[in-house]
Amino acid sequence: MFSAKPTTRTIGFLIFDGFQILDAAGPIGVFEMPTRAMAPSPYALTVYSLDGGPVRASCGASMMSERLPIGLKLDTLIVSGGEGTRAAMTDSRMMEALRDLSGRTRRTCSVCSGAFLLAAAGLLKGRSATTHWRRSAAFERLYPDTRLQADRIYVRDGKFWTSAGITAGIDLALALVEDDLGEDVTLRAARELVVHQRRHGGQSQFSVLQDIRLASGRFDSLIDWVRSNLAADVSVDALAERAAMSPRNFARVFRAETGTTPARFVEKLRLDAARQSVEKTALSLQQIARDTGFDDPERMRMAFMRVFGQPPMALRRQARGTSGSQSGC
C-alpha cells in the first residue's frame, strides 16, 4: 500500500472541442492510482471546459466536464492538446481563462500541442518547453521567444511543465506525482498502470527508428548504411559525399526530411544501439562504446545521462531486475 499523506491537491484538466482524449485520460489514470490507494486521498481530480457538459474529442467520443468557474484556484492545471488547439488558440475566452487560472495555480502543465495554448496565452515567453515533434517546426515559427526543446519527453521550467505527444502525458503525470509524493509512490503507480519503465524528461520523446522515414524516404538507404556502420566516419561531410550532395545542402535537406540535424540524428542512432547492447548483452561498456561510435565510455555515459537521465550501468541493472507482481486496473 501507499503511505498516507495529509494534503489533498486539486488537479484540474482543461479540455476543449477537438482535444486528444488520451492527453486527458492518460494523466487522469496516473493520478487515480495513489488516489485509490492512499487515505486521505492525495488528489481531487476535475475535468473542466469553458462551458461545461460533454466535450467532443478528436476521435468522436465525448468526455464530461464541469464549467470552469470564475476565481477557481488549483494546485495543478493540465491543459490537453489535440487538433482543436488550432481553434482554441484564437479563442479570446480561452486565452483569458488560461492567463487568469494559471495565475492562481502552483503548477501549469500541458500535454502534446497543449503547449500551443500556453504559448498563445503568453505564459511560455522566455521559457523552455516541448510539444509533439510533428508540430515543433510550427511552434518555433509562431513562438520564437520560447526555447523549444523539440526532442524531450517533458520539460520543466519553474511552475510550467510541458510534455510531448499523447503517452508522454503519462510520463509527465508520473513526474508530477513524484514531485508531490516521492519516488516510491510513483513506482507503485507505474506498476499499477503496467508501465514498463518511467521515462525521464531528458529522454528523447520518440524512438529514432520510428522517426527515420518521416517524409519522402529520400535518405532511407543512407540511414540504413549509418545504422550498420556507426563506428565509421559519419560526419556531415562524409554523409554528404555518400549522398552526392554538398555538405550545406545535405544538412538543409536532411533536416527538412527527418526533422533533425545529421549530427543529432547520428547520436540518436548511436544511443539506440548502445542502449540495446547495454540492456540485452553482457558486453563491456568499452566494447559497446567502440561498436557504436562513441569510442570513449565516458563520452557514452555523458550522452546517456543527458538523454536518458541515467548512466548505462543503471539501465543495465534495471533491465536485469524484476518488477515484481503487477495488478491491473
324: left (phi over 0), alpha (psi -120 to 50) or beta: left
State the DSSP code for 293: T
In contact, 133 and 204? CB cutoff 8 Å: no
Scanning the chain, the segments in alpha helix (DSSP H) are 21-37, 85-88, 92-102, 114-120, 136-142, 168-181, 183-192, 208-211, 220-228, 236-242, 247-258, 262-280, 285-291, 297-308, 312-320
Dihedral sign, Cα of residue 87, residue 91, residue 93, residue 95:
positive
In the chain, the N- to C-terminal Cα span, in Å, equals: 15
Buried b / exposed e along 163-180 (16+ C-beta atoms within 10 A): bbbbbbbbbbbbbbbbeb
Determine whether 298 is exposed, middle or buried from the number of CB atoms within 10 Å of its CB (0-12, 13-18, 19+).
Answer: exposed
In contact, 138 and 160? CB cutoff 8 Å: no
Q: CA–CA separation, 262 vs 284, rounded Å?
A: 28
Q: CA–CA separation, 288 vs 278, rounded Å?
A: 7
Catalytic residue (one of 59, 109, 112, 329): 112
Annotated active-site residue 112? The verdict is yes
Lookup: cell for 298? 565516458
In contact, 167 and 26? CB cutoff 8 Å: yes
Lookup: cell for 212? 527515420
Question: What are the DSSP E strand ranges found in 50-127?
Answer: 53-56, 62-67, 74-79, 105-110
Write out the catalytic residue numbers: 112
